[in-house]
Amino acid sequence: MGRTSTRAVCLATAALALTAVVSACRPVRKRAPREEVRAISLQDPTPRRRAGAPLEADVEALPEPPPGFVHAKARFVWIRKRPDPDAEWMGYMTLGQSLALRRDPRGMVDGGGSICSKWAPVEPKGWVCLGRDATLDEDDPTFQIMRSRTADISSPYPFDYARSLGAPRYRVLPSERDQRAREGDIAALLGKIGKARSTKGDVELAAIDRRLVGVELDLTGAPIPPMFEPAPTVMESDEDLSHGSTIAYVGEFDHDGRAWLLGWDHSIVPQVRVKKFPRSRFAGVELDADIELPIAFVRRQGAYRYKRSAEGAPVITTETFDPHTMVDLTDGVVQVDGRKLFETTTPGEWVSERDVVYVNPTSAVPKEVSSLGRRTWLEVSTVGGWLVAYEGARPVYATAISAGRAGLKDDGTMIPSSSTPLGTYTIKSKLRTTTMRSDRRPNRSFAEVMYTQVFEGDYALHGAYWHEDFGERRSAGCVNLAPIDARWLFEWSEPRMFDGWHAKNTLAGEPTTVVVVHL
């Protein structure tokens, strides 16, 4: 996954046969019976006729449709090919998610135990085990709480996110005694927070306690939400969030004079022990008749505009481009004082090559692209720092990315460690969110990384909420995308996600998007 600064594994938790995404970017592996991934939003309960569903004249030949929906109460509710715990799994549901039941000639199938009492057929294919982790009872009180806290998959940010400063993770609302046992002198901490609220800046704040710099200190004003004690199948297993790990959270509230965050897994974390991440507004562009390649994305602050002088040559000015903005270019290129300048579509204006991500792909449609459907494929330049999405020969989307941070050898190839693998691949699995871990620091985790698409072994394209250095190499091997871009590509690429599924493998016979990765 690209990491923050360590090689965060971008793998999806649970033995992602889905393709265990990760390595330098891998979602976390599952330790039976514990798993670790995330939730999705409820589906519209309005019945819809799917492709291949029987017409009215055929209905009598099938059993009565089962009632409504199956509801997930665990991080992983596996969707298997057959009603058998040893059958291959195709995907999964997660906390608070609901999935429509499917009519099947076999109806419900006996599961033979309390963990799995029955197998239920689900849309559009597969079977889910009812019992400990899933229920047909929409009024189940635990599920009702979970449903109100599922991932917002209508947004590039399914959750809010923060970086741990060494935060404890509480399973239940902690008493003062619990807080002292885990965090030390709480009265002294509250005194420092009170004093820090009246400070003028970071210098004064650091004098009180440097650990409070950049931390949100005010109370939230929100009451304690409904609570329950999460089971091991609900809450992540780490008791503490190591420094540098991240948390995904769904709410904030006050308790015992402190502000708290409610984690996506229903854990409870003190707000003063984290620094919240701002939401990136960076996004690529859809390409059409008005926006054509080549284009450029401004990398950073201080990208100066070059304008035509009285003598007609470009000269640097004090005016700058806004960071991360897209600059429309012509084909014009000039050299000034050893610098390559690209001509913009604004008459008499240029931008320096060193200040932008220059997107000008030349690859042909790879032979691996299907001749059917939309013929989707992606071209990723690891050194150039860009990605272009195509339908056949037509580019439809372009953006800046962050690939593996590995340096280059003398021959121009990348050093293997922390490099993004070069070659031609296909999307193997898709996860709406997944928790990832660092392969070098197993105790460091990256919570619920959004819109992950595994393309080779442990490597994936996915959103990165922990940085905005798109265009620079800084991941541990995965292809980091701005969250807005990650969601656009996730919804556009093939195979398409089924309604109500949180993650799925590419199934036999499905079209899949080709991924071409080069320097």
Nearest to 149 by CA among 268, 243, 31, 239: 268
Vertex 186: Cα angle to 183 and 192 (nearest 5) = 115
Q: Note the pLDDT of residue 417.
A: 57
Is-contact 420 475, C-beta < 8 A? Answer: yes
Residue 44 neighbours by CB under 8 Å, 6+ apart: none
Domain definitions of the chain by residue range: 1-33+280-291+361-519, 56-147, 160-276, 294-359
Q: Are strands 326-336 and 295-298 parallel, antiparallel or unpaired?
A: antiparallel
Separation of alpha carbons 480 and 489, rounded Å? 12
Q: List pLDDT tens digits, range 356-380.
A: 999 999 889 999 998 888 999 999 9
Predicted model pTM: 0.87
Separation of alpha carbons 265 and 75, rounded Å? 8
Do the two domains 56-147 and 294-359 of this chain adopt the same fold?
Answer: yes
Q: How many CA atoms lie within 13 A of 105 on its CB side?
A: 3
| Residue that the structure tokens 């190499």 belong to | 473
Helix ranges (H only) for 40-173 are: 141-147
Separation of alpha carbons 302 and 468, rounded Å? 16
- Name the residue type at position 351: V
Separation of alpha carbons 14 and 31, rounded Å? 7
Helix ranges (H only) for 197-314 are: 202-209
How many Å separate Cα 332 from the centre of its chain? 37
3-state secondary structure of 248: strand
Is-contact 257 291, C-beta < 8 A? Answer: no
Give the CATH architecture of domain 294-359: Roll (2.30)
Is-contact 26 436, C-beta < 8 A? Answer: yes
Separation of alpha carbons 168 and 122, rounded Å? 38
Separation of alpha carbons 412 and 305, rounded Å? 31
Separation of alpha carbons 408 and 519, rounded Å? 10
Separation of alpha carbons 245 and 267, rounded Å? 15
Q: Note the pLDDT of residue 384.
A: 95
DSSP for 290-306? SS-SSEEEE-STTEEEE
Per the DSSP assignment, residues forming a β-bridge with 34 are 31
Phi–psi pair at 373, nearest 5 degrees: 60, -145
Is-contact 447 250, C-beta < 8 A? Answer: no
| Residue that the structure tokens 């393709």 belong to | 19
Give CATH superfamily name and number for 56-147. SH3 Domains (2.30.30.40)
Cα–Cα distance list, 114 to 39, 147, 240, 458 (Å)? 23, 23, 31, 35
Secondary structure string (H, E, C) spanning 119-154: EEEECCCCEEEEECCEECCCCCHHHHHHHCCCCCCC
Vertex 56: Cα angle to 55 and 58 (nearest 5) = 70
188 burial type by CB count under 10 A (0-12 exposed, 13-18 middle, 19+ buried): exposed
Low-confidence ranges of the chain (pLDDT < 50): 1-24, 26-62, 65
Start-to-end Cα distance in the chain: 18
Q: Note the pLDDT of residue 139.
A: 96
Residue 395 neighbours by CB under 8 Å, 6+ apart: 287, 293, 361, 388, 389
The CATH code for residues 1-33+280-291+361-519 is: 2.40.440.10
